[in-house]
């Protein structure tokens, strides 16, 4: 938005010199209830209530303190925007009775600041209280330098797949137990098999001898 040097000079004088603020006029800015929860792209409408029909200015003071002229709404409902724009894409302005409204069609970070309604009466400037309009601050949590806590499911999986030192010892004991059990058993089976073979051979020899004797 462009700024008018002459208007900014008057505004600076108005902020700096208390005498320039009249007390005979009442100016009130009405804002929506959810203005403290503005969202990007939201429509914002501000209303300036006055006790006269003299026309009104809308200005914005950004975070750095710079003043920006937005629009002048005359007593005949004619709106003159910054840069002589007749139909700006970002703002709307209209008048109903003694209420001068400013509409921000789609609120963006560039529209953040304090909004003032200004009336010039008998070469005196009258300011409304500033109406702050800011987007909510998004805070991010810095990542911790300490080891992050794993999720419960991941912890269980890691515990299931992790090597247990006691399990290796148990497997060795089982292996030795198998040796002590199966080796003697295999030896006993082998001895029985040998004894069976010897018995069969001896029995055959005895039968042959008996057969020869009978002849």
Tell me, what's the pLDDT at 187? 77
Per-residue confidence band for 125, with pLDDT thresholds at 50, 70 and 90: confident
Residue 154 CA to residue 160 CA, distance in Å, equals: 10
End-of-domain residue from the set 86, 105, 136:
136
Residue 144 lies in a domain: no
Compute the C-alpha angle 90/94/95, nearest 5°: 160
Closest CA to 22 of 43, 50, 1: 50
The pLDDT tens digits of the residues spanning 10-61 come to 555 454 444 444 444 678 888 888 888 899 999 999 999 988 888 999 999 9
Residue 111 predicted with pLDDT over 80 = yes
Tell me, what's the pLDDT at 34? 82
The pLDDT tens digits of the residues spanning 153-163 come to 544 444 444 45
Q: Which helix (H) or strand (E) holds 173?
A: helix 165-214
Between 209 and 98, the more confident residue is 98
DSSP summary character for residue 26: -
Residue 63 lies in a domain: yes
Tell me, what's the pLDDT at 158? 43
Both 44 and 110 in one domain: the answer is yes
Per-residue confidence band for 177, with pLDDT thresholds at 50, 70 and 90: low
Both 54 and 106 in one domain: the answer is yes
Residue 66 lies in a domain: yes
pTM of the model: 0.57
Which residues are 45's β-sheet partners? 103
pLDDT-above-90 percentage for the chain: 34
Tell me, what's the pLDDT at 198? 83
Both 120 and 196 in one domain: the answer is no
Between 70 and 152, the more confident residue is 70
Tell me, what's the pLDDT at 164? 57
Residue 4 predicted with pLDDT over 80 = no
Instruction: Check: CB of residue 12 under 8 Å from CB of residue 127.
Output: no
Both 34 and 118 in one domain: the answer is yes
End-of-domain residue from the set 83, 110, 136:
136
Both 32 and 120 in one domain: the answer is yes
Residue 100 lies in a domain: yes
Both 123 and 206 in one domain: the answer is no
Residue 141 lies in a domain: no
CA dihedral 158, 163, 164, 168 (to 10 degrees): 160
Q: How many domains does the chain have?
A: 2
Residue 154 lies in a domain: no
Lowest mean per-residue pLDDT among 88-102, 115-129, 182-196 = 182-196
Tell me, what's the pLDDT at 184? 73
Both 186 and 122 in one domain: the answer is no
Both 118 and 206 in one domain: the answer is no
Q: Which domain holds residue 205?
A: 176-214
Distances (CA, A) of 203 to 174, 194, 195, 197, 210: 43, 14, 12, 10, 11
Tell me, what's the pLDDT at 18? 42
Residue 116 predicted with pLDDT over 90 = yes
Residue 149 lies in a domain: no
Both 124 and 36 in one domain: the answer is yes
End-of-domain residue from the set 86, 120, 136:
136
Lowest mean per-residue pLDDT among 6-10, 68-72, 123-127, 167-171 = 6-10
Instruction: Check: CB of residue 52 under 8 Å from CB of residue 25.
Output: yes
């Amino acid at each position: 938005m462009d700024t008018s040097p002459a208007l900014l000079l008057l505004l600076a004088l108005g902020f700096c010199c208390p005498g320039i603020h009249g007390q005979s006029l009442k100016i009130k800015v009405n804002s929506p209830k959810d203005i403290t929860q503005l969202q990007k792209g939201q429509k914002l409408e501000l209303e300036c209530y006055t006790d006269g029909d003299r026309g009104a200015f809308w200005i914005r003071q950004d975070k750095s303190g710079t003043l920006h002229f937005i629009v002048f709404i005359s007593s005949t409902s004619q709106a003159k925007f910054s840069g002589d724009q007749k139909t700006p894409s970002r703002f709307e302005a209209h008048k109903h009775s003694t209420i001068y409204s400013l509409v921000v069609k789609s609120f963006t970070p560039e529209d953040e600041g304090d909004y003032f309604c200004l009336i010039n009466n008998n070469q005196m400037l009258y300011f409304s209280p500033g109406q702050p309009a800011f987007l909510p601050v998004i805070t991010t949590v810095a990542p911790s330098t300490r080891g992050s806590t794993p999720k419960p499911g991941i912890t269980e999986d890691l515990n299931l797949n992790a090597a247990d030192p006691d399990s290796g010892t148990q497997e060795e004991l089982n292996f030795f137990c198998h040796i002590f059990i199966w080796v003697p058993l295999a030896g006993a089976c082998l001895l029985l098999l040998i004894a069976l073979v010897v018995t069969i051979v001896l029995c055959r020899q005895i039968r042959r001898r008996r057969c020869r004797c009978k002849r």
